[in-house]
Amino acid sequence: MTENHQGNVPSRQRKRFPGISSRAYEHPADRSALVALRKLSGFDTAFKALSGLLPERSLRLLFLSDSVRVSDAQFSQLNDMLRDACYILDLEKVPSMYVTQDPKPNAMCIGMDEPIIVVTTGLVELLDEEEMRAVIGHEVGHALSGHAVYRTILLFLTSLALKIAWVPLGTVAITAIVTALREWFRKSELSADRAGLLVGQDVQASMRGLMKIAGGNHLHEMNVDAFLAQADEYEKAGDLRDSVLKILNVLPRSHPFTTVRAAELKKWSESRDHQRIMDGHYPRRSEDKDTSVTDAFRESAGHYAETVRTSKDPLMKLVGDIAGGAGDLAGDLGGRLRNRFSQGGAQSTKEADGKPGSGAADGKTADGGTGDGQSEG
């Protein structure tokens, strides 16, 4: 491999996606939020103005001084994977990457001006080459989507919330923002998983990586189909109480549950959207400026409607049933109103011909009752 990633080719033949926009792989909820944020005039400028408050420079110095920077001289295999990922997703500037001592498997992409990628020794020791390639592709996907900026803000606000916990109103306000950012970030993780698959182009390696994060380096004791069956059982298990507990369990997390991520990625890997990207049909970055906020929100709303319709979760099924019942009720009322107006029109025609209608001038109906203008429905 050459020094410049543009001259790199992956260690096995993989498809490359020149000029690919992050919109190609972004989860609908993630995409609509990002499109709206990017369309706000001065949004990025305002947040970058906070860089003096954000601990970005401190973080960079910390990793530079107390972690190992990936390069041709250090962790060269990881360096090759990083350049491959940037080559495949056509990210022009390769982010700096560090390996930090931490037994817990983890990786992140942070930074306001320039993203940096950090992986822990626990993750490096846990995954094989193809699994690690998917993870690095995941982090490069975060960088291409611009997630690093918002992740840095999330880290800063989380830290700030702890520091001002003694100020009741202050911590309530920040907690609300942190909760909203976490909900967005969980969706962004699903987007980045898709980017990891586009880089690795091996769905089994992506599945293995998620299984190892959940259960450790014991693949001989694990099974992909059984692991995915857990996600299905999790979604449909229990009653409304369990649905509420699921929500409470996920609220403090920055990542979706591992089985859920695996199921989402497997579903996307088999979708027409994924196949179109692999065939070379995908949105380009050059078209990003023409992206419609309305279309993005409409797609997000459609995704949520489909999720509610197909979900096996008891609460989601209840929401779907209520929505369906409301739709049936609206349709029934609409039918009744149309019938009433139709009968009213026929009645007016008869009266215009001088024939008695159901609402005669003396206020009596044909059977002598008071005419209230109501049809029998």
Catalytic residue numbers?
A: 139
Q: Please name the amino acid found at residue 320.
A: G
Separation of first and last alpha carbons in the chain: 78
- Give how far Cα 187 sits from Cα of 181, 190, 191, 193, Å: 10, 5, 7, 10
Any idea of the CA torsion for 12, 14, 19, 25, to the nearest 10 degrees?
-120
Phi, psi dihedrals of residue 66, rounded to the nearest 5°: -130, 15
For 211, what's the count of Cα atoms within 13 Å in the CB-facing half-sphere? Answer: 23
Q: Sheet of 116-120: strands edge to edge?
A: 68-69, 96-100, 116-120, 107-110
Encoded tokens for 18: 């020149």
Dist CA 118 CA 68 (whole Å): 10
Dist CA 31 CA 296 (whole Å): 7
Dist CA 253 CA 135 (whole Å): 19
Where do we find the tokens 């693949």? Answer: 219
- For 73-130, the DSSP string reads SSSHHHHHHHHHHHHHTT-SSPPEEEEE--SS--EEEE-SSS-EEEEEHHHHHH--HH
| Widest distance between CA atoms in the chain | 102
